[in-house]
Structure formats: structure tokens, C-alpha cells
Structure 1
Amino acid sequence: MSAPFGIDLGSNNSVIAAAFKNNIDVVVGEIGNRSTATLVGFNAKARSLGENAKIQQTSNVKNTVGNLNRIIGLSADSPDFEIEKKYFTAPLVAKDSEVAAKVRLAGEQKEFSATQLSAMFINNLKEVAQNTVKGKITDVVIAVPAWYSEKQRQAVADASRIAGLNPVRIVNEVTAAAVGYGVFKNNFPDEPKKIAFVDIGYSTYTVSIAAIKKGELKILGTATDKHFGGRDFDYAITEHFAKEFKSKYKIDIHTNPKAFHRVLTAAEKVKKVLSANTSAPINIESVMDDVDVSSTMERSELEEYVQPLLDRLHVPVEAALKAAGLTTEDLDNVEVIGGCTRVPSIKARLVEIFGKPLSSTLNSDEAIARGAAFICAIHSPTLRVRPFKFEDYNPFSVSYFWDKDEEDVDHMEVFPVGSTYPSTKIITLYRSKDFEISAKYTHPEALPKGTDPLIAKWKVTGVKVPEGEDSVAVKLKLRMDPSGFYTVEAAYTVVEKIVQELVENPEAKEDDEPEYKDVKKLVKQDDLVLEAQTLSLPEALRNQYFEEEFKMVANDKLVSETEERKNALEEYIYELRGKLDDIYAPFASEQEKTKLQGLLTKTEDWLYDEGDDTTKAKYIAKYEELARTGNLIRGRYLAKQEEEKQAKRAKQESKFAQEMAAKIAADRAAKEAEAPKKDDDVVMTEELD
């Protein structure tokens, strides 16, 4: 049975949660953290993912890629492409109109698309989760920023499929958190409470207004600022210190990517310290050119540097309230999540904007992942969970277009801004032949720049016009599905037929014959064939990426196992040499010692020469060559140890038996000594009587 699995795919860190052991909880990562660094690294032999990539990041900055959710599905024509470049240490390039990263893997220059990179990372999260739940994972719900376009949402779904997962739903991050709030809080009245959810994470700021009552949630309005988050604070701090170090130490960290990354990492720590303190130090040894740097920053300084950001803080709040048709006075609560909401200046400004205290009953870092895992559990056919219905907010108007045939119009707005989804609409077109229909954003000017207004196309075939008619009515079932994807779910023709319908007669008696009347009705005739052309990857390309990922996973595993075998051989050489002169010495002949010492030296020389980089099989062979003699001596040592252990145990058992025998004898003697006294007492009693 597959465990339902939820991913909060963050820019800096990602959190995973799963439904297992009758609970929904966060999955602890490989090194015990409750979050995983959103990083993919490439090395001389293999890849390093998550926390392993973070360990190597400073020494491997040009081949480490993060901020994956900022570039997945991003068009190379988008202005955001240029904006994002400053946040990446690996070079970003355009590949087939997509954003890709240029890295070196196993000595070769490679270009991996953002979808491939995300698939690598998601696959790693899947492996971590499977090791925790001790079972296979197939179904996943992935939480993404609310500002994602159709193309970006499709790219995330593609990435999860390449990772061998079934994306049952792509959900907005704050919506996932709100679902978790509605489910786990579970003390809502029948009348909905209006709650503002504010999420300020590493790169995105989102406000969603929700109406929640027992078992139900509806997002009334959502607004975002996709260039507002913790990384902007980190860069403001880094730029401040870059200027100071240039003046104070005559070094320019902008000219050295490793130095810049080290200062950026230190800046993040400064930001966190300033959340609880009024000042924070920074000390970095040999940052570049063997120069050590140190300084301090006051909280007031940081607030001054990020003032332009703080001045924008009110914008998403006002936009979300406007979309919901509410004011701050209408809100029952303001719930905050996201690491950046810990910054004192942000908290103070939010209190000022909302005019009421902030609440933090949700876990700031884990709420999204837990909500996503619960949503996945809702979709599970094998799990029973608490019923909970929720609807999300549609941020962009979408219309469907077709060629004029019998109609006077060629399009219709089907899913307007502010409508909720999932949602289904049925339209009727009169067609004389096969045709095409497409979904497009109604107002391209309202989209983020660089977003393609075309969402999808469908070719509808199999249209048959009844004899004697000029056209046939075609019913199209249009749907905005739970993941926010726009589809044509079904298409079929209907014809007008005369059918008999029962006439209702309240005064009819039980024995009266039923009366029928002829009624004209549209009756389904033929199912039509739909051929979709969406923004997801072509199946052939997705399968190619899947096969490439499978090969890279196998190579990573082989490289890891080879390194383990190498380390095991090295440890065995030092362990055996040490014990041969110590505890193994009495159990080996001089001839065996001489032979084994020579073999150990020979193997050690090989290991640090041609054996420094060889195959797993050769390491195993060298280990077994040593073990043939080493294990023989070890066996003698263990046999002697067991012999001594048995002798000691026998001695202890003999001693215990002797002690027990002596105790029994002593007890018997004591009883016998007491027996005459009891007899005398009896006799004396009798004589007295």
C-alpha cells in the first residue's frame, strides 16, 4: 500500500510529510533535519542531492543549483529569467525556450532543464520518505506558489512523473496550509470564520483570505508578491557587507563566487540572529585572498536597508481583501506562516496593516507539507480520513475559443477571475464537421510578462451530422480541475428525439393506468474523440527524461557503493595492521605475520596510487584477498575469546551452584536447630495443663 505523500517544494528548503502509522507527520531527512535543502549538485563522478549537496555547496558553487521552484516552467523569454540569474551560482541558459542550468557532471558539460533538475530533487525526497515509511510511495501532492501559471503547474506535474510519482494534485501553498488549519484545529462553528493566511517565505509573499467552517474551506481571495522574501533580506545584508569589506579590507567578494556565497550564507545567519537580538556579529576566516573579515550589524541598519520591501508589505494584503470583498474589520483572525514572518519589523508592520494581533498556531515551517499530505490522503482509495471539502481561488480569467461555424461568436469566458475551482461548465456548439477548440487567458495584459496566453488546444473528431440536417449539437464538458489545469473533459453529440415522459397526476388512483406524453429532448448520440495539445512535456520527451533519471540514480548508487567499498578497504587495512601487533599477535605465526604485513603494505600502496579511483569489484577483490588470511587469524582470536568466555561462564555457574548448595544446607541446619525448641514448648504446655 502506498503512503500518501505531500511536498512543500520551497526555494531554500523543502519539507515532506506522509500519512503513516495512523498519523500525518513530517518526514525527518537523511541527517535528522525536518527540512531538506532544495539543492542539486553535480560532481566529478555523480550527483549530490539535498543535504549532501549543501555540504559540498561552498566548494562546488558553480555546479550546485537551488531555487528550483523559481525556474521550473519559466520561459527563457520571461523578464524573471534575468532577475533569477543573480540568485544562482550555476550558470542559467536557455534550452528549447526553457530555463536550464549548465553544469559539469563526470567531467562532461551538461545542460539540464529546470524540470529535470526538479525531478532529480523530488526523486531524492521520495527515497527519503520511502526509507521512513518502510514502503513504496507513488501518490503525491505538491504545493506550489499561487502565482504559478498553467505551464509552471504542468512542469511540476511532469517533474513528479519523471521521478516515478503520480501527481494526484498540484495545490497552492497557502491553500494547503489553510486546509491543515481547518482539519487539525477542528473546532469551527457551523457559520464560516474569515481568516487571513499570510505566508512570507524565502522568495514569495502570499496572502489568502479563507472562509472556514466545520468540514469546509473556501478561498475568497489571493494575492502575491513573487519577489519578496527572505532571500531579498539576505542579499541586502550581503551587499552591505560587500561594500564594507571592499572599503575596510580592500577585497571585492563580487569577483569571487565562493567568497560571495560564504558571505551570503553568513548573512542568512545574521538575519536569524537579528530576529531575536538587536545586533549580530559576522566573522569569516579567509573569505578570499587569505583575508579574515569581521563586523557587526544592528537591527535598525537591516530595517533601513530593506525599507523598500517593507513599504510594499501592504500591497498583497489590500489586493487579497479586495478580491474577497472584505475589510480588515471583517476578519476573525490573521494566521502567519513562513520563516520571514519571524522578522520583527515585518511582524510589527503586519500588525499595523491588519489592525489586530497575529496568530501563529500553525507550525511556521511545516504547515504546508502537512496540509499537502492530508490532501493526498483524501485522494487515497485505501485510507479513511476526516471529510473535508475545499475550493481554491482562480487568479486569472480563462476563455475558450473555437472557429465560427453555426455560431455568431468565437469564444466564451468560462472561468472568470475570482471563480472557485474545481469547477465544471458545459457549453453547446453547433458543428458541421470536426473542429478545434483552445483555452487561452482572457486578458494577456494581466499576466506576468513573458507568460504565453495559450493554455491548450484540443482537436475534436468524429462529428457526424444527421441526414437532412446542416449541423449537430456538440456538448463540451469544460473543467478547471483540482490542480488548476484547464481541460476539455468530454465531448459528445446530442440529437433531438421524441421520448415518452410520465404525466404526473396527483389525483390518479392506484388502479389507474399511467399516462405518458411525447416530449422533445436532447439525447446523447456519439462520444467524440479528443486529442489534446497541452503545455506539459510531450510523452516521448518525458519518457526520455525518465530513462535518463533512472540511469543517473543507478550511477549515483554505484558511485556511493564504490566509495563505501573503498572506505571499508582502507579501514580494514588500518584495523588489521593495528590488531596484528596487538590482540591478534598470539594467534598468528611469524610467517603469517610477515606475509600479511607485506600484503597490507602492498594493498595500501595500491589504494593510494592506481586504486585511488577504480571499480567497486576491484575494491571487493582486494578486501577479500586480505580477509582470507586476516579472517583466519581473527577466527582463532574469536575462538579463544569464546573458549575463555565459556570457561568463565562455567566457573561462574560452578560458584553459583556451590553458593546455592551452601545456602540450602545452612537453611536446613537452621530449621533442624529450631525443631527441638518447638517440641519442648509443647511438652511444657501439656505439663501445665
Structure 2
Amino acid sequence: MSVVGVDIGSYSTHIAVAKLGAVEVIDNDYSLRPTPSIVAYGDRQRFVGVAAENQKNLNPRQTISNFKSCVGLNFKDVETLGDRFGATASVDTKGKLLFEVRGHELSPEQVLATLFTKVRDIVKANDDNEELIDTLVVSVPVYFTQAQRQAVKDSAAIAGLNINEVISDASALALSYGKSKDISGDEKRNVVIVDVGHEGTQAIVVEFDSQSARILASAHNNIGGRAFDDELVNHAVSIIEDKYKVSIKDNVKILNRLRNILEKTKKQMSANTNKIPVQIDSLMDDTDVNFTIDRAEFEKMIATKIATIKETIEDLMASTTVKSEDLFSVEIVGGSTRIPAIKQVIEEVTGLQTSTTLNADEAIARGCALYAASLSSKFITKKYHITPAVHYGIEAMFVHGGQHEKVLVSDKGDSINEPVSIEITADLPLNVALQYTDSSPIEDKFISLYKVDGTEAKRGVFNLKFGFDTIGALELKEVVMTAEEQLTKKRKSVSPDRGEDMEESENDETTELVPCRTVLVFAKSMPEPRNIVELRDEEMSMIHADQVEIQRQEEKNNLEELLFKCRHEVEEHNEQLGEEEVYTNIIQFFEETENWLYEEGEGAPKSSYLDMAQTLHKKMKVFSVWVEKFQQMKAREEEKRLFLERQQQRQQEQEEYEEQMRQNYHQQQQQRSPPRNVRKIPVVYEGDGDYVPFHQPPQAQQAPKRPSPTRFAHRPDPFFSSHPFFGDSMFGW
């Protein structure tokens, strides 16, 4: 079972897993550590992370991004964000935010649940295929309300995950710092940690010692990397529209592409003071765009936002008694802290040079994993206690004497680890509402409502006990009614004469006050819990649909790979079989299959690809048999040809040999002299001329024996005899 810590950022998500001896930030399916917090909805499946980012510019209205800060909020709280999400935003009957994609309406909690599903898949792929997550800790910004924290937990439950604890980014950073530094036993360090992320800036003051860390104060604003990118995009749009006389401010695809390019330019400006060229090919209507921008110009654009960050850090320092000379160091994390102007402002306020010993992108995820390891039974870790602080003041409201009264439960900066008890006098029936104080910058201040039952009195004194749960939400833990009950008692005396009890007169009655303590039953009536079961069933259905589509795509890819492999095997016989009908037929079948695959079969079901692959295997099997027989036939024809050539060559050699022997014989006869001891027969010459003796030729020598034909030559010719191979009707022979 895995022990996991997750930092879900507005821009990207990091996942850390606790392992023996270390905490490791794991890679996603694209071998990247940051997973974009983007969810895209296609025709058949959902895309999350890098795949969704690739789809963002193709289907901007079917892609949802920057949704993390919207969970648990009403539509009116995020209405000003406009087109930041990509998908069209709407409102339901209860005033909640909804996203419209592919004809469906999805809440931010459902979109976040999809991201949690991706987290589970990444952990499973990287942690030895572990199916279950034993301990899960997720971080949220310090400014998240209790409704948002509960929404994060509900989102994980929709995805089938159980969050053990929801901690703030401040707690995760404090734990990451405290565990990585060697702090001596009696040493105390006051450290300022500034996190400038994508959606906002968080700053905290933490007191560290060797065994614990206590968050003294915190501050935040909504200025982050997104705001800086917006300034760059607006500046670039103004330049392009003036220079090229076009309007692009309403084109979502062009703005997305422009934002991606300018984000890279922003990173280059952090390391260079020279002018940075911006070149975009075919941005609109085949028009190439180019312009330049430098760091000084960029800092001038974001000057007001830098001033807001400076004011936030000043408020942080003013909210605690820690002075600049008491600080040990100033740690900066978050991608936007790489901007030199932000570093300069932090150093001006704190009086110390900024330190980057913490990983700017992964420190929060590592802190979450360390916290999860301390909760899990799989690991034995050195305990390092973190004492978080309350970021928003919370008060309880009730009715007393027919009027609404308020009492402060926890103030900003208080520790959330300590329970709180307050005593109130209120009317019955008692209803206790928790809400944020008027000084909190939250518009919707309502938190929860508790109804108390179990008494018929009209008024009472109550002791209320509050505590923070595992997600950092304040809850009513116990309600005790305390009162003093009046009891009247009559003193009795005994007569010595009668030995009987005698009651005294009414003037001798006494009254005693007896304390009464009653634990009352209460229930949380608002907000209403979400229907997690129904939403989880819907998410499981989507997961199943995604898996079916992934398997369909895999079978399609397998068929495509098999098709090209078979075509390559067949085309290797092109020189030998190019004119054969069987060869041309199977090549035509390949072309028809390819056309079907990229046209009609583009959206075919998985079974169609399997059937086509099976048909392809059968045809290749028949073709292989045909090729084997064809090659056997060609081999026999070649053997016959070679046999006939050998026979002809032997006959020619025989004839040449005989001719040579005849020539040799005649030459020998011509060169031979008459024999010596030859008997002469007397002959009477009767001719007219001179007599010339006639010499009888010697007995002819026996000619050499002519070689007889071999037995192989008289063997029947197998190529002209009947053979079943040449009568095979399958191939038309």
C-alpha cells in the first residue's frame, strides 16, 4: 500500500510517495514530474494532465483548467474570472458553479475528482502497481475556506480515495524545511517562507526548533503567475492588433497559443536583461508575428502587482512580534519567485537575502508525503510536530433574549491543535451558527449551523466545546447545559414525648441551590452533505468508459501495426510474385483495410478491430501456404531445368569425346609405319607401267570402348509424370 502526498496546484500537480529512507516525487505517464491540472473531455474519453494540455488548443471549450480554487464556492464568488476556465461556466439552482462540456454539466468537485483519478493511476504505475493508497495527505492554500477544504475531501471520495488529512501549504512547507535542516537541540529559528504560485501569494512566519515548528502568522493575496501572464498577453495583443491591423482578443485558440509562448518568454526574461525576440509563425491567417520585449518593460507592466506582494509581506511582518533582526532566513518557493523583481521586493521588506534551499516546485508535495509517513503504520519516522495557525477568525452566533449575539471562537493566528470552550447564555431551542468574522475578506461568511435538542426549558447556560477536524474545519464537539436548580426542603423534629416526627411551620422552610449538568444532543443541519454515492457511481461509470475507449484505441493501434507488418512481409516477395494473381489480391486487400481503418473504421468498436485482425491473420496464413507451394514448384522447375541441362551437357560431352577419339585414331593411323614381319603373297603384275608394291595395312587396333549411358539417364522423368502438386485446384495449377 502506498503512502502518498499530493500538492494540487492551480497550474500543475506534484505527487510524492514515501519510500524506505526517502520521499520521492514520482513521474507521470509522460516521464514528467509536474502533471498539468487540466481535464479535457473528448467525444469518447477524458484526457487528464499532459494529454489534456495537448488538447487544450484543439478543443478549448471542452477543456477545463484553473478550477482548483473554485471548489466549494458559489458562482457569484468566481463570476469575475470570465473565460479563465476554458469551458463555459454556468450556475445551478442553488447558486453553485457548473461547467458545460459535451452536453453535460459538471461541478468543480467532479472535475477535481477526475484529477484525483489520474493521481491514483500515476501512483499505481510508479509504485509497483499498488492498487490501494494506504495514507493520503493533500495540501491546500492557507486561504482556503472550510467549505473548500470539505470539497477537496469530497472530490477524493468521488474518485474512490480516502484523504487522511487536509493540511495547508504552510504546514507542508514548514515540515519540509524542518525535516531537511539540522537544527540543534536548544536552537530556535524564525524563518519567513514566501510561496508565489500560479493563483496567489502565500507568506508565513514559522518558529523552528529541533522537534517542532509553530506557524506564527500568515498572509496572502491573489497575485501570482497567472496575473503576470495576463499582463504579458494583454501587452502582446495590443502590439499585434496595432501592428498587423487584426483583432484577436476574442479568439480563444490564438490567445491560448500566445499565452504558452509568452510564458516561455517570461522565463527567459528572468535570466536575461536583453530584449527577447518573440516570433510566432502563422498566428492568424498565415500571418507571421514578431516583436520584442525586455525585462524592464515587463517589470513596468507588473509594477502594481509587485506592490501588492510587497504590501502582503509587510502585513505579515506587522502581524507578529518577530522583527527583521530576529529572522534566520527567508525561503522562497513557487515558480514566480524566479522573477528578479519579486526577489528584490522580498529582500527589501525582510532585510535578508532570499534563500532557495527548498525545491521551488516540489517542496509542498514532499512535505505532504512526510506528513503522510508520520501517520502511516508502514514507516517509523522521527516525530516532527507542526502547529498550524488559524488564518480566518471564526465566531459563533446564537439567540439570547430575542436578539442575535456573537462570540469569538478562534481568532486569526490561534493554534488549531488546541480545543476551544466557551460559555454562553442563550434561548431555547438552541441553534448555533458558525461564521467568519466581519474582518475576514470572505464574502460568503456562513460556515455551518447546529441544532441542539433535548430540553424543554426556555433559557439556559451552555458550555460549547469546539475543535478542528482532520481537514482543518472547525466543528462543534459537545454541548453541555449548566444551571442551578432550586430545591425547597422542610426541617423535621422529633417530640420526646410522642416519639413522632413533627413538621415545622411554613416559616421554617429552607431553599438550597443544586448544580445541574446535562449533555445535550445536537446535529449539523447545514450545509447539506453532498450525495457522494451518486457522484461516485457517475465517476466510476466515466472511468469504465475511459478504459473501454483506451482498449478500443489499443486494438486499433494493434490492427494498424499488424497491417503494416503483414504488408511488409508480402512486399518482400514483390520481385518473385509481382505478376501473380494471389499477390495482387492480397495487396488490394491491404489497401482496402487501410482505407477502412482511417475512414469508416475510425470510430469502430473494439470487436470490429479484433475481427479484422483475425481475418488478416487467416489471409496471411493462406498466403504463406500458397507462397510455400509456389516456391516448391519453382524449386522443382529449377531442378528439372538443371537436370535437362546436365543431360544435354553430358550428351554433348559424349559426342565430343567420340569425335575426339575418332580424330585421334585417324591421326595414329596416318603416322604409323608398315609392319615389319608381314608375310608377302606373290602377285603376278600384269600392268603396263612400272610395278609398285602394295603393302597390306596392319590389323586395325581395337577402338576404345564407348562409355555406356548411365542408369540415371534411363530413369523415368518425374517432371513429366503425373504429380498431385500440379493438379492442385486451390491455386489453379
Q: Structure 1 length as normaliser, TM-score?
A: 0.80
Which residue does 1:299 correspond to in 2? 295
AA of the residue aligned to 2:148:
Q
Which residue does 1:161 correspond to in 2? 157
1:89 to 86, 91, 95: 86
Q: Go from structure 1 to structure 2 and tell me whether the alpha carbon gap of 1:382 and 1:447 turns closer, same or farther (over 3 Å shift).
A: same
Which residue does 2:467 correspond to in 1? 479
1:428 CA displacement: 5.1
- Aligned to 1:487, the other structure's residue is in SS state strand
1:100 CA displacement: 2.1
Following superposition of structure 1 onto structure 2, how do residues 164-313 of structure 1 map, counting pairs within 5 Å? Answer: 164-226=160-222, 228-278=223-273, 279-313=275-309
1:546 aligns with 2:536: yes
* 8 Å contact from structure 2 (residues 135, 164) kept in 1: yes
Which residue does 1:577 correspond to in 2? 567
Distance in 1, matches of 2:36 and 2:626, equals 49
Which residue does 2:717 correspond to in 1? none
Which residue does 1:457 correspond to in 2? 449
Q: Go from structure 1 to structure 2 and tell me whether the alpha carbon gap of 1:631 and 1:299 turns closer, same or farther (over 3 Å shift).
A: farther
* 8 Å contact from structure 1 (residues 421, 482) kept in 2: no
AA of the residue aligned to 1:556:
D
- Aligned to 2:106, the other structure's residue is in SS state strand
Q: Go from structure 1 to structure 2 and tell me whether the alpha carbon gap of 1:637 and 1:141 turns closer, same or farther (over 3 Å shift).
A: farther
Following superposition of structure 1 onto structure 2, how do residues 46-445 of structure 1 map, counting pairs within 5 Å? Answer: 46-78=45-77, 80-82=78-80, 84-95=81-92, 96-104=94-102, 109-133=103-127, 134-135=129-130, 136-226=132-222, 228-278=223-273, 279-404=275-400, 410-427=405-422, 435-443=430-438, 445=439
AA of the residue aligned to 1:546:
R
* 8 Å contact from structure 1 (residues 584, 634) kept in 2: no
AA of the residue aligned to 1:103:
V
- Aligned to 2:215, the other structure's residue is in SS state strand
1:624 aligns with 2:622: no
* 8 Å contact from structure 1 (residues 138, 164) kept in 2: no
Distance in 2, matches of 1:99 and 1:634, equals 62
1:456 CA displacement: 0.9
1:29 aligns with 2:28: yes
Greater gyration radius: 2
1:303 CA displacement: 1.0
- Aligned to 2:290, the other structure's residue is in SS state strand
AA of the residue aligned to 2:547:
K
- Aligned to 2:116, the other structure's residue is in SS state helix
Q: Deviations over 1:325-369 (max 9, x none)?
A: 222222111011011111112112222222111111000000001
* 8 Å contact from structure 1 (residues 421, 481) kept in 2: no
Distance in 2, matches of 1:472 and 1:231, equals 53
Which residue does 1:13 correspond to in 2? 12
AA of the residue aligned to 1:42:
Y
- Aligned to 1:457, the other structure's residue is in SS state strand
Distance in 1, matches of 2:161 and 2:418, equals 25
Aligned-residue Cα RMSD (Å) equals 3.1
Which residue does 1:651 correspond to in 2? none
1:186 CA displacement: 3.5
Q: Deviations over 1:555-601 (max 9, x none)?
A: 11111211111121122112101112227999999787566445434
Q: Go from structure 1 to structure 2 and tell me whether the alpha carbon gap of 1:584 and 1:455 turns closer, same or farther (over 3 Å shift).
A: farther
Q: Go from structure 1 to structure 2 and tell me whether the alpha carbon gap of 1:489 and 1:585 turns closer, same or farther (over 3 Å shift).
A: farther
Which residue does 1:502 correspond to in 2? none
AA of the residue aligned to 1:48:
F
Distance in 2, matches of 1:296 and 1:474, equals 68
- Aligned to 2:217, the other structure's residue is in SS state strand
- Aligned to 2:58, the other structure's residue is in SS state helix
Which residue does 1:530 correspond to in 2? 522
* 8 Å contact from structure 1 (residues 162, 543) kept in 2: yes
1:489 aligns with 2:487: no
1:531 CA displacement: 2.0
Distance in 1, matches of 2:90 and 2:206, equals 39
Number of residues of Structure 1 aligned to a counterpart in Structure 2: 597
Q: Go from structure 1 to structure 2 and tell me whether the alpha carbon gap of 1:354 and 1:475 turns closer, same or farther (over 3 Å shift).
A: closer
* 8 Å contact from structure 2 (residues 399, 426) kept in 1: no
Query: Which stretch shows the higher mean deviation, 361-370 or 174-183?
Result: 174-183
1:476 CA displacement: 3.7
* 8 Å contact from structure 1 (residues 74, 81) kept in 2: no
Q: Go from structure 1 to structure 2 and tell me whether the alpha carbon gap of 1:484 and 1:590 turns closer, same or farther (over 3 Å shift).
A: same
AA of the residue aligned to 2:159:
A
Q: Go from structure 1 to structure 2 and tell me whether the alpha carbon gap of 1:214 and 1:586 turns closer, same or farther (over 3 Å shift).
A: farther
1:301 CA displacement: 0.9
- Aligned to 1:4, the other structure's residue is in SS state strand
* 8 Å contact from structure 2 (residues 400, 425) kept in 1: no
Distance in 2, matches of 1:583 and 1:437, equals 86
Q: Deviations over 1:52-80 (max 9, x none)?
A: 001111111121111122222222122x4
* 8 Å contact from structure 2 (residues 398, 426) kept in 1: no
Q: Go from structure 1 to structure 2 and tell me whether the alpha carbon gap of 1:601 and 1:222 turns closer, same or farther (over 3 Å shift).
A: same
Q: Go from structure 1 to structure 2 and tell me whether the alpha carbon gap of 1:149 and 1:631 turns closer, same or farther (over 3 Å shift).
A: farther
- Aligned to 1:394, the other structure's residue is in SS state coil
1:21 CA displacement: 3.9
Distance in 1, matches of 2:225 and 2:445, equals 31
Distance in 2, matches of 1:471 and 1:571, equals 80
1:294 CA displacement: 1.3
1:603 CA displacement: 2.7
* 8 Å contact from structure 1 (residues 13, 37) kept in 2: yes
1:493 CA displacement: 6.4
- Aligned to 1:59, the other structure's residue is in SS state coil
1:156 CA displacement: 1.4
* 8 Å contact from structure 1 (residues 587, 636) kept in 2: no
Q: Deviations over 1:375-412 (max 9, x none)?
A: 1222223332220111112122212233448x999543
Query: Which stretch shows the higher mean deviation, 50-59 or 343-352?
Result: 343-352
Q: Go from structure 1 to structure 2 and tell me whether the alpha carbon gap of 1:328 and 1:609 turns closer, same or farther (over 3 Å shift).
A: same
Q: Go from structure 1 to structure 2 and tell me whether the alpha carbon gap of 1:252 and 1:635 turns closer, same or farther (over 3 Å shift).
A: farther
Q: Go from structure 1 to structure 2 and tell me whether the alpha carbon gap of 1:138 and 1:532 turns closer, same or farther (over 3 Å shift).
A: farther
Which residue does 2:672 correspond to in 1? none
AA of the residue aligned to 1:203:
E
Q: Go from structure 1 to structure 2 and tell me whether the alpha carbon gap of 1:148 and 1:637 turns closer, same or farther (over 3 Å shift).
A: farther
Distance in 2, matches of 1:324 and 1:566, equals 63
Query: Which stretch shows the higher mean deviation, 135-144 or 49-58?
Result: 135-144
Which residue does 2:686 correspond to in 1? none
* 8 Å contact from structure 1 (residues 188, 212) kept in 2: no
Distance in 2, matches of 1:571 and 1:92, equals 42
1:446 to 440, 443, 446: 440
Q: Go from structure 1 to structure 2 and tell me whether the alpha carbon gap of 1:636 and 1:213 turns closer, same or farther (over 3 Å shift).
A: farther
Following superposition of structure 1 onto structure 2, how do residues 578-617 of structure 1 map, counting pairs within 5 Å? Answer: 578-582=568-572, 593=583, 596-617=586-607
* 8 Å contact from structure 2 (residues 4, 368) kept in 1: yes
